[in-house]
Structure formats: structure tokens, C-alpha cells
Amino acid sequence: MRRAFIILGFLAAGAAPSWAQTLEVGGDVTQPLTLAAAELKTMPRTTVTVSEEGRQISYEGVLVGELLKRAGAPVGRDLSGKAVASYVRASAKDGYQVVFSLAELDPGFTANDIIVADTIDGKPLFDYQGPLRIVAPHDKRGARSIRMLQRLDVVRLAK
């Protein structure tokens, strides 16, 4: 029985062997995007430094706010009134999900420097992290720095 469980567990883990190498930006936006990881290299880049296990780690990538702007989410001057009651759900390919308020991700609103990272100390993310992850450098805990990022969905609570 135990052996059967273990085998089933690995089969389940291996059920999606072709984990996506793209990032979907969708939900309540005007221009849904499907971004290849390589496309992020052509966008404005931001570097943040965080402390992990006693070491300073440098992540580089693109501000989430920049991606949301390209997808037509209400950011910048459009982030006012009812639009402030919006959030972004970030989903990983292993099923993990976290949320940010839209204002947290808009560099015109806050200075959180939350990025979609594709490099760690100048190299590609580790397999278990990537190819893309969110890094929220000012969060006190790492739970929202979601690894294996697959989707960003904008949800507007009021229109």
C-alpha cells in the first residue's frame, strides 16, 4: 500500500512533464499576454536584493507593474476610484497561488519593486524555482515570492 502511494505520488507529480515555459497575463485586462521567458529579456529590467539563508541574493527581472501595464490593466493614472479595488492572483505550475493588491504592484502607486525574476545572481533560476518567479523584496516573509510562476490574473471587484 505504501509503495502504491509513493508510485501514485510520483505519477501525479509527473503528470505535467511539459511545465509551461511561458507566462500568461490575463483576467480582467484589455490585452491578455502570453510571454515567452525570453521576451522578458527585452523589457526594462529591475534588480532587487534579498537575504536568503543568511546570504544576499540578487534577482533580476521585470516589474510586475510593467507587465500589467502592457496587458492593459488599470495602472498608473488609471489606478483610481473603483479600480483600486482590484487584485492580482499569481499562480504557479505546481498549484500554489498568492494574491497582491493591484496597487502593491503599480510602481506609480507604491515602491515595492515586486518583479517577475528570471535570473538569480546573474544565472537562470534553479529548476525548482523557475524559469520565472515573483520576488517581493520588501515582504518580511517569502510566502508570496511564488516560484514556478505560470499565470497572473487581474481581478476587479468593482467597475
The amino acid at 53: E
Q: Nearer to other proteins by C-beta: 85 or 98? A: 98
Per-residue contact string for residues 34-73; x = within reach of other proteins by CB under 8 A: -------------------xx-------------------
- Provide DSSP, 8-72: HHHHHHTT--S---EEEEEES-SS-EEEEGGGGGGS--EEEEEEETTEEEEEEEEEHHHHHHHTT
In the window 110-139, what residues touch other proteins (CB under 8 A)?
Answer: 121, 123, 126-129
CB of 6 to other proteins, least distance (A): 6
CB of 98 to other proteins, least distance (A): 11
Does 16 help bind other proteins (rule: CB under 8 A)? no
Find the radius of gyration of the CA atoms of the chain: 17
Instruction: Pick the binder of other proteins from 25, 92, 116, 134 (CB under 8 A).
Output: 92
Q: What are phi and psi of 4, to 5 degrees?
A: -60, -40
Grid coordinates representing 79 are 489606478
Which residues of the chain form contacts with other proteins (CB under 8 A)? 1-2, 5-6, 9-10, 12-13, 53-54, 92, 94-96, 121, 123, 126-129, 147-148
